[in-house]
C-alpha cells in the first residue's frame, strides 16, 4: 500500500519520500509469496466492486507500461455449501454489479478441473473475470514507477515515532534521523497498530503459512487451465492457485495463530501446516505428498475484516491505510489513489466511505 501511494503521489508531481524498516523486496510483512488472487465478484461485500474495477484498470495499465506480466486472468472458482458466505456473496456481488459469473454442478466442475474434488454437497460458482497477481513484481513495478517520477525511497529506515508540530509532520527514525513533511501517509501493515494506537480499533495480527506442493506428471499438464480456487469447508476457508513451474500454492484464509510481535512472529508455521495438509488431502488430487516450499506471512485483521482507510481524527494532514485483513493486495493501486486523494485534498471521489474508521466510532459497519 505504501508503494502504491508513493507511485500515485509521485505521478501527481508531489515531492514524496517513503520510509521502510527493512530491505527492498523483504519477506517479513504481508506482500510476498509469489501470487495473490484478484477477483471482482466480491463476496466480502458488493461495495468493494467499484474499487476493484478501478484496481484492475490500474494493474493493467502498470503491466502495459512495464512490459512484464503482472496479472494472469485465469478465473477463480468458489466452492462451498449453498448458503455459505463465499457462494451467496459472490452471486450477490455479481448480481448487484452485472458481473458474468456462472454456477456449475460439482460433477461438471470435477470433470472440468480433475485436480479439484468438489463435494456433491457444494455449490460451485465460476468467475472467469478474475485471476492471479505476481505479488512481488507488482510491488517492485509500483516502486520502479514511483522512483522514475521522482519518489525517494529510504530502505532499512525504521520509524520510531511521529508527531505533528505546527504545520509539519515530524517523523523520527530509530537511528535518530528526523524527516519533516507537510503531510504524512501511514501504511504500516502488521505494525500499523503501533503508530495509530489511539486511532484504530484493536487489530489482530495472524500468522499464515503459504505452502507450495508439486503437481505430479499427469496433473502438471492441466495447470495451464486451472483457475485460482476458494473452498469453504467445515474446517475453515482455504484457497490455492497455480504458482511457479508445476506448483500449486495453498493456504488457509480463516483462523491462524495470533502474533503478539510482528517483528518476531514465532513458529506458528507448524500449527498451520496440519490444516493445509488436511485440505490438500481431501480437496486436491495429483499433488506431491509433502510440500516443496513453505513461507509465513501476516494478516492484519480489523474487528469486522474490512479495511480501515481514513484521515487521522486529530491531524488533518495525516492519513492511513490499515487492517487489510488478508484480502487487500488486489486493491493496492486503488488504495494508493484513495490515500493520495485524502492526503492532498482531504476527500476522494472514489466510493470508499464504507472503509472509514468512523464505523467504529458509532456508525454502522458495512
Ligand X SMILES: Cc1cc2nc3c(=O)[nH]c(=O)nc-3n(C[C@H](O)[C@H](O)[C@H](O)COP(=O)(O)OP(=O)(O)OC[C@H]3O[C@@H](n4cnc5c(N)ncnc54)[C@H](O)[C@@H]3O)c2cc1C
Residues that bind ligand X (CB under 6 A): 1-2, 19-22, 29-31, 33, 36-37, 158-159, 187-191, 208, 210, 251, 297-299, 324, 326-330
Which residue reads 512481488 in cell numbers? 136
If the CB atoms of residues 154 and 216 are measured against ligand X, the closer one turns out to be 154
Residue 22 Cβ vs ligand X, minimum distance, rounded to whole Å: 5
If the CB atoms of residues 29 and 268 are measured against ligand X, the closer one turns out to be 29
Alpha-helix runs per DSSP H in the chain: 2-11, 49-66, 85-97, 106-112, 135-148, 192-195, 217-220, 268-283, 332-345
Residue 261 Cβ vs ligand X, minimum distance, rounded to whole Å: 12
The grid coordinates listed for 185 are 501517509
Indicate the pairing of strand 152-154 with strand 17-19.
parallel
Q: What distances in angstroms separate CA 67 from CA 52, 60, 141, one per listed residue?
A: 22, 10, 10
If the CB atoms of residues 77 and 110 are measured against ligand X, the closer one turns out to be 77
Half-sphere exposure for 341 (CA within 13 Å, toward CB):
15
If the CB atoms of residues 114 and 277 are measured against ligand X, the closer one turns out to be 277
Residue 33 Cβ vs ligand X, minimum distance, rounded to whole Å: 6
Say if CB 31 and CB 331 are below 8 A apart: no
> Which single residue brings its beta carbon nearest to ligand X?
29
Residue 171 Cβ vs ligand X, minimum distance, rounded to whole Å: 9
Residue 93 Cβ vs ligand X, minimum distance, rounded to whole Å: 15
Q: Choose among 202, 279, 270: nearest CA to 236.
A: 279
Residue 270 Cβ vs ligand X, minimum distance, rounded to whole Å: 16
If the CB atoms of residues 110 and 327 are measured against ligand X, the closer one turns out to be 327
Residue 2 Cβ vs ligand X, minimum distance, rounded to whole Å: 6
If the CB atoms of residues 94 and 171 are measured against ligand X, the closer one turns out to be 171
If the CB atoms of residues 155 and 282 are measured against ligand X, the closer one turns out to be 155
Those residues with Cβ within 8 angstroms of residue 345's Cβ, 6 or more apart along the chain or in another chain: none
φ, ψ of residue 151 to 5 degrees: the values are -65, 145
If the CB atoms of residues 110 and 179 are measured against ligand X, the closer one turns out to be 179
The grid coordinates listed for 258 are 495470533
Residue 252 Cβ vs ligand X, minimum distance, rounded to whole Å: 9
3-state secondary structure 128-181: CCCEEEEHHHHHHHHHHHHHHCCCEEECCCCEEEEEEECCEEEEEECCCCEEEE
Q: Choose among 78, 17, 29: nearest CA to 192.
A: 29
Amino acid at each position: 500500500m505504501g508503494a502504491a501511494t508513493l507511485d500515485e503521489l509521485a505521478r501527481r508531481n508531489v515531492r514524496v519520500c517513503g520510509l521502510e524498516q527493512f530491505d527492498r523486496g523483504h519477506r517479513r510483512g504481508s506482500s510476498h509469496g509469489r501470487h495473490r488472487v484478484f477477483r471482482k465478484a466480491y463476496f466480502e461485500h458488493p461495495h468493494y466492486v467499484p474499487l476493484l474495477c478501478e484496481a484492475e484498470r490500474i494493474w493493467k495499465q502498470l503491466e502495459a507500461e512495464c512490459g512484464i506480466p503482472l496479472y494472469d486472468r485465469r478465473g477463480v472458482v468458489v466452492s462451498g455449501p449453498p448458503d455459505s458466505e463465499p457462494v451467496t456473496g459472490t452471486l450477490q456481488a455479481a448480481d448487484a454489479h452485472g458481473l458474468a459469473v456462472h454456477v456449475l454442478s460439482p460433477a461438471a466442475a470435477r470433470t472440468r478441473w480433475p485436480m479439484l474434488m468438489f463435494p456433491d454437497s457444494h455449490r460451485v460458482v465460476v468467475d472467469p473475470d478474475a485471476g492471479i497477481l505476481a505479488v512481488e513484481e507488482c510491488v517492485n513495478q509500483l516502486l520502479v514507477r514511483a522512483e522514475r517520477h521522482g519518489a525517494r525511497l529510504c530502505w532499512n529506515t525504521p520509524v520510531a515515532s511521529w508527531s505533528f508540530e505546527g504545520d509539519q509532520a515530524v517523523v523520527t527514525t530509530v537511528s535518530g534521523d528526523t524527516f519533516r513533511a507537510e503531510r504524512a501517509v501511514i501504511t504500516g501493515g502488521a505494525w500499523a497498530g503501533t503508530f495509530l494506537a489511539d486511532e484504530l480499533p484493536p487489530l489482530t495480527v495472524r500468522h499464515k503459512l503459504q505452502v507450495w506442493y508439486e503437481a505430479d506428471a499427469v496433473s502438471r499438464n492441466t495447470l495451464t487451465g486451472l483457475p485460482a480456487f476458494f473452498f469453504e469447508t467445515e474446517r475453515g476457508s482455504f484457497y490455492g492457485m497455480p504458482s511457479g513451474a508445476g506448483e500449486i500454492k495453498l493456504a488457509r484464509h480463516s483462523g491462524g495463530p495470533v502474533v503478539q510481535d510482528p517483528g518476531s512472529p514465532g513458529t506458528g508455521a507448524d500449527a498451520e501446516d496440519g490444516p493445509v495438509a488436511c485440505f490438500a488431502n481431501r480437496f486436491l488430487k495429483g499433488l506431491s505428498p509433502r510440500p516443496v516450499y513453505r513461507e509465513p506471512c501476516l494478516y492484519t485483521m480489523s474487528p469486522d475484516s474490512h479495511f480501515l482507510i481514513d484521515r487521522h481524527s486529530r491531524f488533518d494532514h495525516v492519513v492511513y491505510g490499515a487492517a487489510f485483513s488478508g484480502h487487500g493486495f488486489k486493491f493496492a493501486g486503488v488504495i494508493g489513489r484513495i490515500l493520495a486523494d485524502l492526503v492532498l485534498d482531504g476527500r476522494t471521489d472514489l466510493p470508499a466511505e464504507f472503509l472509514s474508521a468512523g464505523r467504529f466510532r458509532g456508525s454502522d459497519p458495512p
